Every structure is written in C-alpha cells, then in structure tokens.
C-alpha cells in the first residue's frame, strides 16, 4: 500500500507502507525511483502503462487505446534523457542515474506524463495504480 503526502502546491511524495520514499507527483508527472537496472525499469514501465492506459480510457471514454505492444518496447535515447517507448510512442521517461526527489533504492528512475486533461484527483488515483503495478512487478 502506498501513501501519497502533499509536499506543496501540485507536489506530492509517494511512500511505501513503511514510509520509504519511492516516488513523487509534480503537476501531471508521476515518477518512481529505486529500480536496480534499466531492464527492471522497462518491465515496470510497460506493465504500469498497460494499467494506466486502461484506467484513463475508463475515465475518459473518448480516449483512444494506447496499450503498448511488448515486442516493440525498447529504450529510445535522446539528448537529455531516455524513454521507454513502443515504436515512436513514448511511454515513460527513463533516467539512468536517478532523478526526482532523491528517493533511494536503486539508480534508475521512470516518470509518466499524464495528459493535460487529467485533473489532480485523476493524477493521484493514477499514482496509486502505477505504484501498485510497480510493486507487484518488483515482487515477482
């Protein structure tokens, strides 16, 4: 179970049940840190995106399905960061040396950009969903 704690206007800290920081919310960006390596982060981002896409389609019925095709998921390197991508479609930002709030546990971080029409409530609900999927991925 995750806890989401307000850290200021449009900023939240995501903690595990034992109080360990595992991620953050800044505006419509939800990030998670502590992945041991890039492969683990890519698996987690792909699984989390599946759930996020389904949840957003339920909240916004006109939203087109954007579920990734696992066989096409790869890391797309750019100047400032890398992306977990399905073809050219970016699923999550990937930082190899950590990022965000400095939460420990591993050097790799991922961030999801939610759509501009997602309210603060939707972003917090999505963070809970993403966190649960990532926890399950890491437990497997």
| Domain residue limits at 64 | 3-139
Residue with tokens 């390596």: 37
How distant is the alpha carbon of residue 26 from its chain centre? 12
- Tracing tokens 């966190």 back to the chain, one arrives at 131
In whole angstroms, how far apart are CA 12 and each of 4, 29, 34, 80, 90?
6, 10, 17, 24, 24
User: pLDDT tens for residues 30-81?
Assistant: 999 989 999 999 999 999 998 998 889 888 888 888 777 778 899 999 877 8
- Give the pTM: 0.89
Element containing residue 26 per DSSP (H, E): strand 21-26
Predicted confidence (pLDDT) per residue in 84-105, tens digit: 999 878 999 999 876 655 455 5
Listed residue (118, 128, 108) closest to 58, CA to CA: 118
- Encode 116-135: b = buried (16+ Cβ within 10 Å), e = exposed: eebeeebbbebbbbbbebbb
Question: How do 108-113 and 29-35 pair as beta strands?
Answer: antiparallel
Total count of domains within the chain:
1
Q: Where are the alpha helices (DSSP H) in 2-119?
A: 38-59
Mind listing the pLDDT tens digit for each residue in 36-50?
A: 999 999 999 999 998
């Amino acid at each position: 179970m995750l806890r989401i704690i307000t850290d200021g206007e449009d900023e939240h800290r995501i903690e595990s049940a034992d109080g360990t920081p595992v991620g953050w919310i800044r505006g419509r960006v939800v990030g998670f840190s502590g992945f041991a390596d890039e492969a683990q982060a890519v698996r987690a981002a792909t699984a989390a995106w599946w759930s996020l896409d389904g949840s957003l389609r339920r909240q916004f019925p006109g939203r087109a399905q954007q579920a990734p095709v696992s066989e096409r998921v790869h890391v797309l390197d750019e100047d400032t960061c890398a992306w977990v991508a399905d073809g050219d479609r970016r699923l999550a930002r990937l930082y190899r040396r950590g990022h965000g709030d400095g939460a420990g546990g591993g050097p790799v971080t991922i961030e999801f950009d939610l759509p501009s029409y997602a309210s603060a409530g939707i972003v917090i609900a999505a963070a809970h969903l993403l966190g649960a999927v990532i926890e399950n991925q890491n437990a497997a």
